[in-house]
Structure 1
Amino acid sequence: MDNIYLLMLIAITVLAVADIVVGVSNDAINFLNSAIGSKALSMRTIMIVASLGIFIGAVYSSGLMEVARKGIFVPGEFYFNEIMFIFMAVMITDILLLDFFNTLGLPTSTTVSIVFNLLGAAVVMSLIKISASDSETVSDLYSYINTSKALEIISGILLSVFIAFTIGAIVQWLSRLVFTFQNETKIKSFGAIFGAVALTAITYFIFLKGLKGTPYYGELKGSIEGNEIYIIIAGFLFWLIFSIAFEKFAKKTILLVVIAVGTFGLALAFAGNDLVNFIGVPMAAYHSYEAWVASGVEASAFSMEVLDKKVPAEPLLLFISGGIMVVTLWLSKKAKTVAETEIKLSSQGSTQEKFEPNALSRWVVKGTTNISYGIDFLLPKTVQDKISLRFQNPELKMGKAERLNAPAFDMIRASVNLMVAGILIAIATSMKLPLSTTYVTFMVAMGTSFADRAWGRESAVYRVAGVLNVIGGWFGTAIGAFVASGIVVFLINWNPRVMTPILLMITVFLLYRNYKSHKKSTNKTVDEDSLVSSDISSVQGVIHESANNISNVVKRSNKIYSNAINGLSKQDLKSLKKNKKQVDKLSAEIDELRDNIFYFIKNLDESSVGASNFYINILGYLQDMAQSLEYISKTSHKHINNNHKKLKFSQVKELKEIDDQLDNLFTEIKAAFDSRSFEQIGQLLQQKKSVFDLVTDKIVKQVARTRNEESSPKNTTLYFSLLLETKDLLTASMNLLEEYHNAHDSSVEPASIAVEEE
C-alpha cells in the first residue's frame, strides 16, 4: 500500500497545476474586467500590469496556507491515509467544477469551491469513521470539523456579497454625483483630488494592510502600527502632487494611472488571496507525506496532528505557481468567455442581453421600482431634478461598428470598481480570511452599474436575471462541491487502488471533452448565409445591402421547406429535428436584425428617413416567412415524433409538386437578388397566381378525400395545416418582393428623370 500514497501525491501535484490553469481562467479575469470594459489602456498594457501584480502577490499567500491544513477540519482526528483520501477527492472535484463553470462562461469562486470541497470530503470521511466506531454517533461530528472557523469563512464569503454591492453602489453614486457623465471639465477641476484619494486608498490597503498576511510584516510592524494616519496623509500628498504633475506634463487624465495601479493592486490581492485555493491542498499533502515517511508508522495509524503546526510556504513553489498563473492569464481563451458575462451585465449602453428574464428578476425590478417611487415621493422635486441632471448620459450618434467598439463604461466607474474591490480584498487578506475575490469584484461591478443607472427600464430585468443566475451558480458551486467531494472520497476510501486511477482517467476525459467543446464554440466561423445588420444611411444603400439578407433568407427558406417535406415523406425524425434547429437559428437572426432597428433609424441621413419604413416592412415580411417555416417544421416534427400515421402517397406526391414549384420560384428570387437584377422582380410577382392556384387545388382535393376516404383526423389536420401555412409563406414572400419592387422603382426614378433632363 505504500506506493499508492506516493502516486496520490504525484497526482495531486499534477492536478494542482491544472487547477491553477482552470482557476485563473475563471478568477483572473475579474481583476481585468474594469480595465478591459473601460478601454482606458491597451490590452497589452493591461496584461503586463496584471502579470506583475500576480508575481508580487504570490508572496502574500503564505499567511493563508493554514486554511487548507486546519481551517475546515481538525487534522488530529484523522490518520494519514484518510487525509490523503480527502486531499485527493478535493483536487479531483475542484478542477472539474471550475472547468465546468469556465466552459459555461460563468464566474464562480475558487475560494467557495475549495472550502466546500474540503468540508464535503471531511464530513463524509468523518461519517465513515463514526460509522466504524461503537462509541461515536453523528452528534460527535463536531469534534472532526472545525465548525467555528468553517462558519466564519462561509459567513464572511456570504456577507461579502452584500457588502461589496452596497459599498460599490454608494461610492459610485457619490462619484457620479460629483463628476457626472459629461465629466471632461469636472475631471480637469477635481480629477487630481479624486485620483489622489483613489491611489492613496489602493496603495494603503493593498501594500500596507495586505502585508499583515505575509511573514514579512514582523519586520515592518513597528514602523506601521500607530502611524497609520501619518502614512495616509503622506500618501495622499504624494499622490496629489503626482496627479497634478501627471496631468500637466502628460496631458492625460490621472484616471489612466488609477486604472493601471488599481489593476496591479487587484491582481496582487487576487494572487495573495486565491493562490491558497490552488496550492494549499497540495502543499498540505506534501507536508503530510513527508511527516509520515519520517515516522515509519503505518499510514492507517499515523495521526495527522503535525498539520496543526504552522509551516511557512516555500518561496520557490509560490514563485512557480505565480509563473503558471501569469502564463494562463495570457493564453487562456476561456477567461475571455467569462469576461464577456460580467462586462455585458455592467455595460452602460444597450447590448445583446445574454440572459432571459425570469419571475424572480421581474419581481426584484418591480419591487425596486416601487421603492424608487417612494423615495421620489419623499424628496423635493428640485432635489430630484438636480440629481437626475447629474446622471444624465448624453446619447451619441454611432453606427453598429462604433457601438461594438465603444467602452462598456467610463473611466470613473472603472476606477471605483478597482478601488473598492481592491480595498475589500486587501482587508480580508490582512485578516487571513479567504474572501472570494470573484464575489467581491463581481458584486462591486454590479453595485456600480446599478448606481450608474446602467440598469434602466430597457435592460434591468435582463441584467437582474443575469446577476441572479450568477449568484445561483455560486450556491450551485457550494452544494456541488460539497456533494461531489463527499462522493469521491467515499469511492476512494472504498478501494483506493482501483478507484483512484479510474477517477483520474474520468477527470482527464471530462477536461478534454470540455476543452474540445469550448474550442468548437469559440472557433465557430460566421456562416456565409448568416444575416448581417446594416449601418447604411441612404435608401439606395439599404436596398442593395438588404438584398444579401433577402437572398440568404430565401435560400434557407427553400432548404427548410424542402427538408420538412422530405422528412415527412421518409418519416425521418432526425432530419426533422435538425430542421427545427435551422428554423430557430433563422428566426433568432431575424429577431437580432429587428433589435437593431432603433440604431438603424438613428443612423439615417436626414434626406433618407424614408428608408426606415422600407427596412421595417422588409423585416416584418422576413419574420412572417420565418414564422410560417417554424410552424411547418415544428408541426411536421410533432407528427412524426408522436408516431402518427404517415401521409398517404397521394398527399406526399402533391406536397412534392408544391415543393418543386416553390423551389423554382425561390431559386429565381435568389438569382435576381444575387445579381441585383431588380427589374426581374416584376416578372417574379406574376408567378404568384400559378403557385397559389396549385396550393388551392390541393386543398380542394384534400376536402374531397376527407369526405369520401380519409380516416385519420391527425393526417387531415397536418395536411391542411401545411397547405395553409404554405399559402402564408408564399404571401409573405410576394409581399416582400412587392415592397422591394416599389421601393427600388421610387429610389431610381429621380435619378432617371435627372438623366433625361440633361
Structure 2
Amino acid sequence: MHTLYLFIVTILVILAISDLVVGVSNDAVNFLNSALGAKTAPFHIILLVAALGVLIGATFSSGMMEVARKGIFHPEHFYFNEIMLLFLAVMLTDVIMLDFFNTYGLPTSTTVSIVFELLGAAVAISIIKITRNPDAPHDLGTYINSGKALAIISGILISVVVAFLVGAFIQWLVRLVFTFNYERTFKYFGALWGGFSFTAIIYFILIKGAKGSSIITPDTLVWIKSHTMLILGLSFIGWTVLLQVVLSLFRINILKFIVLVGTFGLAMAFAGNDLVNFIGVPLAGVASFQEFIRSGATDPSGFAMTALAGPVKTPTFYLLLAGLIMVLTMAFSKKARTVTATTIDLSRQEEGQERFESSVLARAIVRQTVGLSKAIKFVIPENVRVTINKRFDRTEYNKLKKEKGVAFDMVRASVNLVVASILIAIGTSLKLPLSTTYVTFMVAMGTSLADRAWGRESAVYRVTGVIVVITGWFMTAMIAFTISFIIAYIIFYGKIYGILAFLALDTYLIIKNRFIHSKREEEKQKKEEIISDTHEINGSEVFNKCKTETLSILEESSNLFYNTLIYFSKENRKKLKNIQKKIYNLNKKVKELKDNVYFTIRNLEENSIETGHYYVQSLDYLRETAHCLTYINNPIFKHIDNNHPLFPREQMEGMLKINDKIFTLFKHVKEAIQKDEFDNIDLILEIQKEILSDIKSLQKKHVKMIKKHGNIKTRPSILLFNILGESKNLVLYLVNILKAQRDFVIYQKENHLLS
C-alpha cells in the first residue's frame, strides 16, 4: 500500500517540475512584455533582471503555500488516501491545461487554474465521501471553502474593468505631457515621473513582496506597515531630487531604469505569489505522505489530514530550486516567447500582421466606438482637438521604430509597469481578489488604446484578441473545475489503472502540443520574414516569384481537382476528406500570398513598379481557381458524407470525360508557363472551347432527363449542376492565368527585364 502512495508522491514531484515549466511560460508575459516590447535593453539584460526578481521573490512565497493545503477545502475532513488522489488530479489537470494555453499563445491566470482545479477535485472527492458513507456530513460546505471561488470570479470582473480604464486614463495623461518626442519634454518633467514611478514600484515591492517573505521578521513587517506613508514620501522626494541631478549632469535615459526596476518588481511579486500555483500542491502531497509515515498509521483511508490545517514553513532550499527552474524556463522556453508575443502584438503601436481575425462582437464594439468618437468631435472645440493631436504626433516614434523595431516606446512601457504595480499593491492592501495576470494584461491593453495604437486598420483584430483572451480566462475556471472533477472521480475508482491512463494521456497531449506549437511558430516565422524583408526587388525577381508560385499552385490544383471527381465516382469518403483538407491548405496558402502582395510591391524598385500590376492580376486568378476547388469539393464531400446516390451512369461518364480534358488543359497551361512559350495558345483555347461545349451539352442533357423522367433524384441533380458550373469557372480562370503570365512575359521582354 505504501508503494502506491510513494509512486503518487514521485509523480507529484515530476509534475511539479513540469508545472513550473508550463506555468512560468505563461506567467512570464506579465513581467517581460513591457521591457521586451520597448526593447529597453538587450534580451539577456532583461532576462537577468527578471531572473534576479524571480529568485528573490521565490524566497518570499513561503507564506503563500498554505493556499494549496487549506485555502479551498478543509483538510481535516479528508483522509490520506483521498487527499493524495485529490492532489494528483489537480496536477494532472494543471500541467496539460497550461500547456494548451501556452501552445496557442494565450495568457491566463495560473492562480485561477489551480484554485478551480483544487475546487473541482475536492468537490468530486466530497461527493464520493457523501455517497459512500451515510455517516459523513452531507453538506458540501463542510468540505469546501466556496467563498474563495466566488471571490476569484468577482476578481476577474474587477480586474478587467478597473485595470483597463485606469491604464487608458493614465497613459493618455502621460502621453499628453511627454508626447512621442519625450526626450525634449522629459528634461522638464522626467524627474517627477521617475520619482513617482520608483516610489510606486517600491510600494508595490514592500506591500506585495515583504508580507510573504521567509527572510523579513514579523517586527520589521509591522514597522513597514505603520510607517508606509513616511517611506513613500521620503522615497518620492529622494528619487525626484536624485533623478533631476542625474538628468541635468549626465543626460541619462532614466526611463530605462524605471522599466528595468519595474520588471524586477513584477518578477519578484509573481514568483512570490504564483510559486504556490506550481509547487504548492506537490509540496502538500509530500508533507501528507511524510505525516502519514511519521504517524505509523497503517490504514490510509482512516488517517485524517488534520496536520495540513496547521501553519506552513517551506524550506528556503526548495523555494530557491523552484526559482532556478523558473529562471531556466524563461531563458529557454519557446512557448514563453509565444505567450509574450501575443500581448506585445495586441499592444503594438503600428498596424501589421495581426494574430487574430475579425469577429462579430469586435466589429460591433469598434462600430459603436467610431460613432461615439465622431459625436465627441462635435463637443470638443477644434483648437483643443488640434492641440491634443499635436501631442500625439508619431513622427519621432516612427524614426525610433525604424531604427530599433520597437513595438512601443519606453514611456508606455513605464506606464504599464507603474500602473500595474499600483493597482496590484492597492488591491493587496485592501484584500481585494485582484488577479495579477489580469491586471497586467488589461493595463497593457488600456495603455495601447489610449496611445492610439488601435487605429481603424487594426482595431477590430485587436479587440477580437482581447475578447479571446478574456473568454479564455473564464474558460480557464470552467475547464479546470470540470477536468479535475472528472480525473479525481475516475482515479478514485480506477486506482493505479486510472492513474496510469491519465499519465499516458497527459504525456501524449504534451507531445502533440509540442508539434502543433512548432508548426505554428514555423508559419509565423515565414510571415514575419516577409513583413520584415525590406530589400529592394527588381522586375525580374517579381516575375520569377510569380512564375514559381503559379506553377506550384497549378500543379497542386490539377491533382486535387482530378482526384476529387475520381474518388467521388468511387464514393471514397476518406480520400475526399483528405482532399478537402488539402484544398483548405491550398486556399490558405494562396490567401497568404495575396495578403502579402502589399509587402512585395512595397519593396519593388522604382523602375519595376509596372510589374506589380501583373503580379496582382495573376494572384487574383489563382485565388479564384482555389475557390472553385472549394466550391466543387465541399458539396461533393457533403453529398457522399450523407450517403446520397451518385449521378446516373451516363452523366457520371460524361463528367469523368470532362475531368480528363480539364486535367489535360492544366498540363498544357503548366507547360506553356514553364517554358515561357505561348505559341500554342490557340490549341489551349480550342481545348477550352471543347470543354465548355461538353459542359453545356451535359447540362442540357440532364435538363431533358429531368423533364422526361420524373424519377430523377433531386440532390444528385443539384450537385451535378454545381460541379459543371464551377468546372466552367475553373476552365475560364485557368486560361486567364495563362494570358496574365503571357502578358507578364511580353512586358518583361519589351523592357529587357527578363533574365
**Under TM normalisation by the shorter chain, which class is it?**
0.7 to 0.9
Greater shift in the superposed pair: 128-137 or 39-48: 128-137
Tell me how far apart the structure 1 counterparts of residues 524 and 567 of structure 2 sit (CA, whole Å): 28
- Match of residue 687 from structure 2: 691
Matched, 1:651 2:651: no
Question: What CA distance in whole angstroms lies between the structure 2 residues aligned with 1:749 and 1:670?
Answer: 18
> Bigger CA drift: 233-242 or 268-277?
233-242
Question: Does the CA-based 8 Å contact 1:64-1:434 persist in structure 2?
Answer: no
User: Which deviates the most, 109-118 or 646-655?
Assistant: 646-655
Q: How far apart, CA to CA, are the structure 1 residues paired with 2:9 and 2:503?
A: 13
Provide the C-alpha distance between the structure 2 equivalents of 1:325 and 1:531, rounded to a whole number of angstroms: 34
Rounded Cα–Cα distance in structure 1 between residues aligned with 2:671 and 2:349: 45
Q: 1:6 to 1:82 in 2, by over 3 A?
A: same
Distance 1:602 1:137, change over 3 A: same
After superposition, the Cα gap between the structure-2 partners of 1:107 and 1:669, relative to the gap in structure 1 and judged at 3 Å, is farther
Question: Among 660, 664, 685, which residue is 1:661 paired with?
Answer: 664
* Aligned-partner Cα distance in 2 for 1:397–1:171: 23
Larger displacement relative to structure 2 (112-121 or 140-149): 140-149
Residue of structure 1 in register with 2:123 after alignment: 123
Q: 1:24 aligns to what?
A: 24
Q: Structure 2: how far apart are the matches of 1:607 and 1:252? A: 45
Residue deviations 1:506-525 (CA, integer Å, cap 9, x gap) = 33333333334434544579
* Distance of 1:747 and 1:250 partners within structure 2: 58
Correspondence for 2:359: 358
**Contact 2:554–2:666, Cα closer than 8 Å, also in 1:** no
Deviation at 1:277, TM superposition (A): 0.7
Amino acid at match of 1:625: T
Deviation at 1:729, TM superposition (A): 2.7
Structure 2 counterpart of 1:302: 303
Letter in 2 for 1:694: E
* Equivalent runs, 1:328-343 vs 2, <5 Å: 328-343=329-344
Partners of 1:397 and 1:602 within 8 A in 2: no
State the one-letter code of the partner of 2:621.
Y
- Asked whether the equivalents of residues 22 and 99 of structure 2 are also in contact (C-alpha less than 8 Å), the reply is yes
Residue in structure 1 matched with residue 184 of structure 2 by the alignment = 185
Q: Which residue of 1 aligns with 2:436?
A: 437
1:592 aligns to 2:599 (yes or no) = no
> Structure 1 105/372 Cα, relative in aligned 2: closer, same or farther at 3 Å?
same
C-alpha distance in structure 2 between counterparts of 1:581 and 1:396, whole Å: 43
- SS where residue 300 of structure 1 aligns? helix
Which residue number corresponds to residue 756 of structure 1?
none
The sequence identity of aligned pairs, in percent, is 42
Output the CA distance in 2 between the equivalents of 1:718 and 1:434.
58
Shift of 1:55: 0.9
Q: Look up the equivalent residue of 1:692 and give its one-letter code.
A: Q
Distance 1:180 1:556, change over 3 A: farther
From the superposition, tell whether residues 541 and 191 of structure 1 become closer, same or farther in structure 2 (CA, over 3 Å).
Answer: farther
Does structure 1 residue 702 correspond to structure 2 residue 698? yes
> Per the alignment, do residues 187 and 475 of structure 1 end up closer, same or farther by CA in structure 2, a change over 3 Å counting?
same
**Any conservation in 1 of the 2:163–2:443 contact (CA below 8 Å)?**
yes
Deviation at 1:13, TM superposition (A): 2.0
SS of 1:65's equivalent? helix
Q: TM-score, normalized by length of structure 2?
A: 0.87
Q: Matched residues in 2 for 1:602 and 1:522: separation?
A: 25
What is the CA-CA distance between 1:571 and the residue it aligns to?
3.6
Equivalent residue, structure 2, for 1:347: 348
Which residue does 1:475 correspond to in 2? 474
The one-letter code matched in structure 1 to 2:278 is: F
The amino acid that maps onto 2:694 is K
Contact 1:187 1:253 in 2 (8 A): no
Greater alpha carbon shift after TM alignment, 465-474 vs 129-138: 129-138
1:684–1:220 Cα change, 3 Å: farther
Cα distance, 1:431–1:292 mapped onto 2, change above 3 Å: farther
Equivalence map 1:318-337=2 (5 Å): 318-337=319-338
SS in 1 for 2:28: helix
SS in 2 for 1:692: helix
Partner amino acid, structure 2, of 1:354:
R
The equivalent of 1:458 in structure 2 is 457
Give the CA deviation at 1:478: 0.7
CA separation in 2, counterparts of 1:117 and 1:24? 18
1:397-438 CA-to-partner distances (Å, cap 9, x unmatched) read 99xxx9898322222222222222234345556678775332
Question: CA offsets, 1:323-382, max 9 Å, x none?
Answer: 111122222222222223222222222233333333332333334344444544443333
| Range with greater deviation from structure 2 (639-648 or 335-344) | 639-648
Q: 1:508 to 1:656 in 2, by over 3 A?
A: closer
- Tell me the equivalent position of 2:731: 730
- Compared CA separation, residues 318 and 367, structure 1 to 2 (3 A): same
SS in 2 for 1:32: helix
CA spacing shift, 1:160–1:341, aligned 2, 3 Å: same
Task: List alignment gaps of at least 5 residues for structure 2.
Answer: none
Q: Is the 8 A contact 2:665 2:688 kept in 1?
A: no
Q: How far apart are the structure 2 equivalents of 1:597 and 1:395? A: 28
Query: Is 36-45 or 704-713 further displaced after alignment?
Result: 704-713
In 1, Cα distance between the equivalents of 2:155 and 2:41? 33
Structure-2 change in CA distance of 1:106 and 1:684 (3 Å): farther
Spell out, residue by residue over 1:23-48, the C-alpha distance to the aligned partner (whole angstroms, 9 max, x if none): 11211233222222223322222222
Task: Deviation per CA, 1:603-643: give whole Å up to 9, x if none.
Answer: 66666654554444333223222222332333443444344
Structure 2 residue aligned with 1:567: 567
CA positional deviation for 1:56: 1.1
5 Å-filtered alignment, 1:530-541, equals 536=536
Q: 1:78 to 1:244 in 2, by over 3 A?
A: same
Aligned counterparts of 1:180 and 1:422: Cα–Cα separation in 2: 23
Distance 1:65 1:620, change over 3 A: same
Q: TM-score normalised to the size of structure 1?
A: 0.87
Counterpart secondary structure, 1:312: coil
CA contact (8 A) 1:492 1:500 kept: yes
**Greater Cα offset, 417-426 or 261-270:** 417-426
What is the deviation of 1:239? Answer: 3.8
1:285 maps to: 285
1:383 partner letter: V
Cα gap change, 1:650 to 1:195, in 2 (>3 Å): same
For residues 664 and 318 of structure 1, do their structure 2 counterparts lie closer, same or farther at Cα, with a shift above 3 Å needed?
same
Q: Which runs of 5+ in 1 are unaligned?
A: 753-758
SS at match of 2:293: helix
Q: How does 1:332-411 map to 2 (within 5 A)?
A: 332-394=333-395, 406-411=405-410
SS of 2:302's equivalent? coil
1:607–1:505 Cα change, 3 Å: closer
275-284 vs 647-656, greater mean Cα deviation: 647-656
- 545-554 or 93-102, which deviates more: 545-554
641 and 73 in structure 1: CA distance in 2 versus 1, 3 angstrom threshold: closer
Q: Does structure 2 retain, via aligned residues, the 8 Å contact 1:420–1:444?
A: yes
Cα distance, 1:112 vs. partner? 0.3
Query: Tell me, what secondary structure is at the counterpart of 1:659?
Result: helix
How far off is 1:282 after superposition? 2.1
Shift of 1:318: 0.3
CA contact (8 A) 2:356 2:461 kept: yes
- Count of aligned residue pairs for this structure pair: 740
Counterpart of 1:693 in structure 2: which amino acid? Answer: K
**Aligned pairs (5 A) from 1:91-170:** 91-132=91-132, 134=134, 138=138, 140-170=139-169
In structure 1, C-alpha distance between the alignment counterparts of 2:284 and 2:696, rounded to whole Å: 81
1:328 maps to amino acid: T
* Structure 2 counterparts to residues 575-614 of structure 1, below 5 A: 575-598=575-598, 610-614=610-614
Query: What code does the residue aligned with 1:548 have?
Result: T
* Structure 1 pair 429–213 and aligned structure 2 pair: CA distance change class (3 A): farther
Tell which deviates more after alignment, 566-575 or 388-397. Answer: 388-397
Instruction: Provide the residue aligned with 1:755 in structure 2.
Output: none
Q: Give me the whole-angstrom Cα distance separating, in 2, the residues matched to 1:712 and 1:735.
A: 35
| AA matched with 2:335 | K
Distance (whole Å) between structure 2 residues aligned to residue 434 and residue 312 of structure 1: 24
Residues 247 and 594 of structure 1, relative CA distance in 2, 3 Å threshold: farther
Equivalent AA in structure 2 for residue 668 of structure 1: E
Deviations 1:256-279 (A, max 9, x none): 222222222221111011001111
| Aligned-partner Cα distance in 2 for 1:394–1:576 | 54
